[in-house]
Structure 1
Amino acid sequence: MSTQDGIKIWSFTGKMKVLHLSWIAFFITFVVWFNHAPLLAVIGSSLGLTASEIKTLLILNVALTIPARVIIGMLTDKYGPRLTYSLLLGICSIPCFMFAMANSFEQAAIARFLLGFIGAGFVIGIRMVSEWFPANELGTAEGIYGGWGNFGSAAAAMSLPGIALFFGGDDGWRYAIGLSGLLSLVFSFIWYFNVNDTPKGSTYFKPKQTGAMEVTSKGDFFLLLIAKLPMYAALVLLTWKLSPAGVDLLSETGAQIAYCALILLYLLEVKQTYKVNRQVFKEEVPEAHRYKFRQVVVLNVLYFATFGSELAVISMLPLFFSEVFSLDMVYAGMLASLYAFMNLMSRPGGGWISDKFGRKKTLLILTAGLAFGYLAMSAIDNTWPLFVAVLAAMACSFFVQAGEGAVFAAVPLIKRRLTGQIAGMTGAYGNVGAVVYLTVLSMVSYQTFFLVIAGTAVLGFTALLFMEEPSGTITEVREDGTIELINVSGH
């Protein structure tokens, strides 16, 4: 595969065909994952939901994505992106149809909870794109994949209300949601019959063992166990939110069972991680096969602050604009969608800058911009001219989404055969961030909420100082025992 032919956006052959099909698959997962958001008012009145039940649906929608991204990352590394994406798109159309046919809050809640799984599709394409593009184009290619696919949530907001109106009547929203499920089902076949896991003649490297992430030193083993804790903490937080202390969807007993299950699950995971990695306690891993897990931890923290804040801000921005500037919700929603609209260029832009100037330097600049952006947003009040407030939100959004692009420009360069799992863990941290920020928002003012995000960005900047610029090669072993060196120097 030549690395000289660059990225030709209008081409639909070879690696570009794979890139286009990948972002379309991701785009569809986002349309389905957020298909309820623009129709919430209609769905609420149709099913007779209270305000707290509607908020619960929003939280349930992102709950399952935390473990799902980790599980899907493992399945992708083991079975390849072609089969994994196809099955995810096909199977997740079922809860989508369930939601379209729901007649009660309970039915809607179960369907939304299960639909959290489709939010894990992102991870699959990260591995797929990394198989087809060389290191010096990878940031740009992953940025296009992430940014254009992410636009699915904005596309759902723009198109689904119109589709619901076209069908009309009380059930218009059901047809709109059902159609997005049908789209997912049809594309699962298109995907399967049009892509391959790797270019012709390339090896698809699989982890030696599945069931837990491989590490290559004792210190990294303990670091991995610590890095797992925030994901469980976010699920504990969700359980608390659903318990009688929160929205009362779970009974006190149900909540206690959930807490115990999470503790048990963590202990099981510790056991499984030891099983996969017990070798590191017996002998040292040869230098050529090592990778530093702290690189993954740094990217986790950054994705917590970037994608976590994006998901949270997209959820609250329409309300923020309408309350601070006394606007009607439709107008406020349109202004707020400009924040998501930035994805089309910002995320590929972050990846491209990363390819040109290096991963670490790019991330340092973007994270600093992110901190200042949210600091500026915390100062917005009704004395500001509206257009300045919108510009501040868009500038902040640029740093957020370019930062996401730069994070995923670095993810595939750590350890090729573990790319799905690393992407899964980093992606899950984005959802952990969303859960934490949305919970913070339910307790504090908008100003404090933006300051908290700025604070975590400063934390991310500090963590970045410990990251090393990916350079040289990654060593992988082919099935016949021969060695392949994969170049990871981006520029």
Structure 2
Amino acid sequence: MSKNSAQLDLLSFTGKTKILHMTWMAFFITFLVWFNHAPLLLAIQASFGLSEQQIKTLLILNVALTIPARIVVGMLVDSFGPRNVYSVLLVITGFLCLFFSLATSFEMLALARFLLGFVGAGFVIGIRMISEWFPARQMGLAEGVYKGLGNIGSAAAAISLPTLALVVGGDDGWRYATGLTGAIAFVYAFIYYFSVTDTPAGSTYFKPNKSGGLEVTSKKDFVLYLLVNIPMYGALALLAWKVSSLGLISITTLYIIYAVLVAIFVLQCRKIYSLNVQIFSKPVDKLQQYKFKQVAILSIAYAVTFGSELAVVSMLPMFFQNTFAVPVALAGVFGACFAAVDIGSCPSGGWISDKFGRKKSLVILLIGAAIGFFVLSTITSDWPIALAVAAMMCSSFFLGSAAGCVFAVVPLIRRSLTGQIAGIVGAYGNIGAVVLLTVFSFVSTPVFFLTIAGCIALAAMAAMWLEEPKSSMFEVLPDGSVQMVEMH
């Protein structure tokens, strides 16, 4: 792998580039299914006679399971390989999607949407797959292409599914449209399984020595790992509170959910301790250590970048409509432009990271995004609308590029733990979205943009503590021997 040319030919469909194309397509399909309900909500609402509260519940349930799912899927990928895990996930996706399309009650819709939150974890799998096939000098660009092209699955759903539902016609148009995406996922599971391998021929697929949690290499990292887990439970508690505030679960049920989350957190802490108990009696050799602070910093950066992206995409059309009094359709187009920039910004961020250094690129792009959102907070109806759209797209570019930078670093921390690390960092993207959308429900739009700018500025400061990844890392094989993995 180290002998590969520095040039990445994206038009090729052989070797590592074939793996890249097959894998971003798998990611694209998971996002297509994950967001297939959003553009069809009005039809679903009419079909079942749902209230506004029930529609809001479906939107919340769709993201609730994704946070823990990314952690679990990260562990599975490291243990069983991305080929197996992606294929199984796509099969499960197909069945869950079919379950949703055949729902006959709101309860069935709600359960299907909750379970489909698991599909959002597919992103994590490809991060490990790409890292196995590409050398470090191409890692950022390859991961950026994977993330950028896969993300447009949600946009593809928004564009194609309403038209498909309309063509089929009738009250069941939405069922055929969503069911078709499930069928695509099911078929692609088998195509993917028979088209890829976890590593190039002759390469070792490094697995963690223990499963059930992340192995850390110092006492300080152990404490930091426990602290990093707390916001995940906090975000799930916040989602439960939002469902309760809609009047859909009782206060008693809410407190039971809180108690269950606390109990699971305590059990997880015990599991993490049992996995890492040896570090308290015998220090890990310096050569074999990695720094968990890298994971924590990248998690913060991803929370403010991808989290902001998810939060802003959902409110931008309304912002343009209210500020500039444009038609609903045009406001939707302006909002879609924010997400569309991601197609180019993620690969750009990865390429910048490959070219100019991981740490410096991340810090500069985060600062650019913070300035961009400060500018957005000053937009009024007096602005020329073209200037407002340009400012929004510039902010989106810096935001997406910074997110691309994050996943240019993730695979360079510890190869055997890449899935789990990607799971933690990816989960923080959803945590950021949950927190920021909650903030948005309490404040005005300018204050919301200022809040995002402040959060990104803090992340830029944290990124200054990031350490540039080394040119090699040490992996411990199952037999206890140590092997050095060259990253260039």
Shift of 1:473: 1.0
- Give, in whole Å, the separation in 2 of the partners of 1:163 and 1:455: 42
Partner of 1:342: 341
- Give, in whole Å, the separation in 2 of the partners of 1:428 and 1:60: 15
Partner of 1:461: 460
Partner of 2:75: 74
Partner of 2:323: 324
- Give, in whole Å, the separation in 2 of the partners of 1:184 and 1:53: 27
Which amino acid is the alignment partner of residue 205 of structure 1? Answer: F
Mapped pair 1:57 → 2:58: yes
Which amino acid is the alignment partner of residue 202 of structure 1? Answer: S
Shift of 1:235: 0.5
- Give, in whole Å, the separation in 2 of the partners of 1:453 and 1:59: 21
1:94-109 equivalent positions in 2, closer than 5 A? 94-109=95-110
Partner of 2:396: 397
Shift of 1:193: 0.7
Show CA shifts across 1:38-71 (max 9, x none).
1122222222122222222111111100000000
Partner of 1:281: 280
Mean Cα displacement is larger for which, 36-45 or 155-164? 36-45
Mapped pair 1:11 → 2:5: no
- Give, in whole Å, the separation in 1 of the partners of 2:48 and 2:326: 27
- Give, in whole Å, the separation in 2 of the partners of 1:85 and 1:40: 28
**Corresponding residue pairs, total:** 487
For the Cα contact (< 8 Å) 2:363–2:461, is it kept in 1? no
Show CA shifts across 1:403-438 (max 9, x none).
111000000000100000000000000000010011
Partner of 1:470: 469
- Give, in whole Å, the separation in 2 of the partners of 1:484 and 1:283: 20
- Give, in whole Å, the separation in 2 of the partners of 1:240 and 1:121: 27
Unaligned runs of 5+ in 1: none
Mapped pair 1:118 → 2:116: no
Question: SS where residue 92 of structure 1 aligns?
Answer: helix
Question: SS where residue 486 of structure 1 aligns?
Answer: strand
Mean Cα displacement is larger for which, 434-443 or 317-326? 317-326
Show CA shifts across 1:107-153 (max 9, x none).
21111111110000000000000000000000000000000001111
Partner of 2:432: 433
For the Cα contact (< 8 Å) 1:205–1:416, is it kept in 2? yes
Shift of 1:457: 0.4
Partner of 1:303: 302
- Give, in whole Å, the separation in 2 of the partners of 1:444 and 1:5: 48
Partner of 2:384: 385
Which amino acid is the alignment partner of residue 112 of structure 1? Answer: R
Shift of 1:173: 1.1
Mapped pair 1:446 → 2:469: no
For the Cα contact (< 8 Å) 2:35–2:157, is it kept in 1? yes
Question: SS where residue 466 of structure 1 aligns?
Answer: coil
Unaligned runs of 5+ in 2: none
Partner of 1:315: 314
Aligned-pair identity (%): 55
Partner of 1:257: 256
- Give, in whole Å, the separation in 1 of the partners of 2:153 and 2:336: 12
Shift of 1:484: 2.9
Shift of 1:479: 4.2
Question: SS where residue 485 of structure 2 aligns?
Answer: strand
Which amino acid is the alignment partner of residue 121 of structure 1? Answer: G
Mean Cα displacement is larger for which, 166-175 or 128-137? 166-175
Shift of 1:482: 4.7
Instruction: Check 1:4–1:188 CA distance in 2 against 1; reply closer, same or farther (3 A cut).
Output: same
Shift of 1:199: 0.5
Mean Cα displacement is larger for which, 253-262 or 278-287? 253-262
Shift of 1:95: 2.1
- Give, in whole Å, the separation in 2 of the partners of 1:133 and 1:317: 36
Mapped pair 1:44 → 2:45: yes
- Give, in whole Å, the separation in 2 of the partners of 1:193 and 1:238: 39
Shift of 1:334: 1.4
- Give, in whole Å, the separation in 2 of the partners of 1:308 and 1:52: 23
Show CA shifts across 1:62-115 (max 9, x none).
110000000000000000000000011111222211221223322211111111
TM-score (norm 1): 0.97
Partner of 1:248: 247
Which amino acid is the alignment partner of residue 17 of structure 1? Answer: K
Show CA shifts across 1:11-30 (max 9, x none).
11111110000000000011
For the Cα contact (< 8 Å) 2:66–2:427, is it kept in 1? yes
Which amino acid is the alignment partner of residue 52 of structure 1? Answer: Q
Which amino acid is the alignment partner of residue 206 of structure 2? Answer: F
Which amino acid is the alignment partner of residue 261 of structure 1? Answer: V
- Give, in whole Å, the separation in 2 of the partners of 1:261 and 1:12: 48
Partner of 1:355: 354
Shift of 1:379: 1.3
Partner of 1:268: 267
For the Cα contact (< 8 Å) 1:203–1:478, is it kept in 2? no
- Give, in whole Å, the separation in 1 of the partners of 2:76 and 2:459: 29
Partner of 1:146: 147
Which amino acid is the alignment partner of residue 159 of structure 2? Answer: M
RMSD: 1.2
- Give, in whole Å, the separation in 2 of the partners of 1:290 and 1:326: 57
Shift of 1:487: 2.8
TM-score (norm 2): 0.98
| Stretches (4+) displaced over 4 A | 479-482
- Give, in whole Å, the separation in 2 of the partners of 1:36 and 1:446: 26
